[in-house]
Amino acid sequence: MQDNIILVGLMGAGKSTIGRQLARRFNLEFYDSDKTIEARTGVPIPTIFEMEGEQGFRDREEQVIAELSQLRGVVLATGGGSILREANRAALTRSGRVVYLRASAEQLYNRIHHDKNRPLMQTDNPLQTLRSLLQAREAHYLEVADLIVPTGKQKVAHIVNLIAQKLNQLQDLPYANAQS
């Protein structure tokens, strides 16, 4: 059964922002795996990285994604690294239509370089880090994607409209009544 909308893509692609709006558009509940992890631990993501390292964070992320993937009728914004684990890729593709929000490293850098809430960006050369992450992850994003949507230059409202339109074109989805 595939009635969820899952957003994947690198940091800054707009998963959290667009996911919230898509949920409103389709009258679905919105979940963000990072927000669920923060709510459960009671601390922000950077603190989890400090205290437990990236592996500790990834273990929590896998647990949360396994649970959220079981819900029905939701939009799920994932963390950018969630697709690194095979178990997450399998859970996400079973759970719903996966939308890859795609942008270049340069575009993402311009959006998020000032934001201190992404521990993986706290390097001497965040642009280079984004390039490396994109190179390492792109194949996984493409592997899980039902739909690929460029988000580097477009406005949020336009991206939301485009995703709604494309999802409505896919068969066997209960989205036909979405308001635009």
Ligand X SMILES: Nc1ncnc2c1ncn2[C@@H]1O[C@H](COP(=O)(O)OP(=O)(O)O)[C@@H](O)[C@H]1O
Ligand Y SMILES: O=C(O)C1=C[C@@H](OP(=O)(O)O)[C@@H](O)[C@H](O)C1
**Which residue, 15 or 102, is less far from Mg ion as judged by CB?**
15
- Report in angstroms how near the CB of residue 8 gets to ligand X at its nearest: 9
User: Which one-letter amino acid corresponds to residue 73?
Assistant: G
Find out whether 12 is annotated in a ligand binding site.
yes
Q: Pick from ligand X, ligand Y, Mg ion, none: which does 45 bind, CB < 5 to 8 A by kind?
A: ligand Y
What lies within 8 Å, CB to CB, of 144 at 6+ separation is: 8, 83, 89, 92, 93, 98, 100
Question: Does residue 129 touch ligand X according to CB under 6 A?
Answer: no
Q: Pick from Mg ion, ligand X, ligand Y, none: which does 119 bind, CB < 5 to 8 A by kind?
A: ligand Y
Provide the CB-side half-sphere exposure for 139 (13 A, CA): 5
Nearest to 17 by CA among 94, 101, 73: 101
- Report in angstroms how near the CB of residue 153 gets to ligand X at its nearest: 8
Note the residues at the interface with Mg ion (CB under 5 A). 15-16
